[in-house]
Amino acid sequence: MPSLLRPKGYRMIKDFSVENFRCFRSLELKDLKRVNVVVGQNASGKSALGEAIYLAAWSSPNVAQRIRLERGRLVPQAPAVIYWNKKLFEEYWDDLFYNFDSRERIRFTIHDQPSDEVSATYLVDAFYDRHRGTTSMGNLLSLEPVTPFVFERTVGGMLRRNAATVVDNKLSFSGDNLALPSVATITPLSAFDQASAAEAFSDLVKSDQRDVIQKSLATVFDGIEGLDLALDATLAALFAKVPKVQQHMPIGLASSGMAKLVHILLNITKSLNGVVMIDELENGIYYRLLPQVWKCIYDFAGPRNVQLFVSTHSWECLKAAQSTLGGNEHDFTLLQARKSPEGGCEVKRFEGLNLAAALEQNLEIR
């Protein structure tokens, strides 16, 4: 089967729809922009929206398991669980389906916005393939077939299939991991990964772009005199040179807020022509720096054709976006997640001009 490559001219997600996923019975978002600001109360669907975009891009049960772990849920294992039977296997995935009802498929649809005449629709289905049940080897309690959990993605008539099943009483994944579009997530629980940071910074050095991160950091944090790679406990790590300190120090030791912004910028460099999702932008950053942070990530993402989804609970963080929003309203949307009167959740979309007006008038939009 031919590999699915990102179509020429891919720029960003223009339209996105979801059916039968988590808290969304049906959701359709039109005309998304370069910067999509996501707000809403707890349990209103903000995280589920981010997961939907992430899963639609990766189209993989392996990634669905990663999301499970990030939500603090566990992977069954001996001796607590001895046998992966059909019941346990389906309970493991059923919370992905709206109202835990797996009789209908989960469906994601991405329509991209091209930079030339080429565009594409990405159609992703997640379902139990009831025609391909397999008996879990070593399962002495039940020989009832375990039904594979499948993600199928269709782009331009080409089909890609990733599946999870049970082999020798262990979860087994088939297929590949290829994100279309490329997508990265930054959550409040995301630890600063020095190995990934060092690798990404090394790539910038090789392409003669080592100064791009430092120059952007300097617009937010005064006095950054340099960034470089050095060994930290025998491993390559990213170090910063700060004023009045005689030697470079690991970036996280220099400042947790600085480390977060570096984390964001490096993920943007790795997600060219793709998507970066930032959950709770304000987390770990001093409120007076937030206007500069908004401008920094906006200016940094633009030339790299990176689309941003930025969530926040903070009014200060929203107000801090005003100076960047002004004159660039066409690049912004507001996505307001909330409980639906019919059950589940919904997301209302507002133009950047409406967001600017609401912030100017101090209207509560969270």
**pLDDT given for residue 176 in this prediction:** 86
| Segment holding 18, helix H or strand E | strand 12-21
More confident residue, 101 or 137: 101
Class of domain 191-360: alpha beta
3-state secondary structure 84-117: CCHHHHHHHHHHHEHHHCCCCCEEEEEEEECCCC
More confident residue, 28 or 167: 28
Calpha distance 89→81 (Å, rounded):
11
Calpha distance 360→366 (Å, rounded):
15
Q: What is the pTM of this model?
A: 0.90
Calpha distance 349→261 (Å, rounded):
27
The answer to whether 162 and 154 are in contact (CB under 8 A) is: no
Query: For residue 128, which phi and psi values (nearest 5 degrees)?
Result: -90, 125
Residue ranges per structural domain of the chain: 12-183, 191-360
Residue 281: pLDDT band (50, 70, 90) is very high
More confident residue, 69 or 307: 307
* Window from 67-71, 172-176, 310-314 with minimum mean pLDDT: 67-71
CA 324, 325, 329, 332 dihedral sign is: positive
Cβ neighbours around 116 below 10 Å, total:
10
Average pLDDT, the chain: 87
CA torsion 301-305-307-310 (nearest 10°) is 0
CATH classification code of 12-183:
3.40.50
How confident is the model over 185-230, as pLDDT tens digits?
Answer: 998 767 677 888 888 888 888 888 888 998 999 999 987 788 888 8
Q: Which of 154, 152, 143, 157 is nearest to 174 (CA)?
A: 152
Q: Do domains 12-183 and 191-360 have the same CATH topology?
A: yes
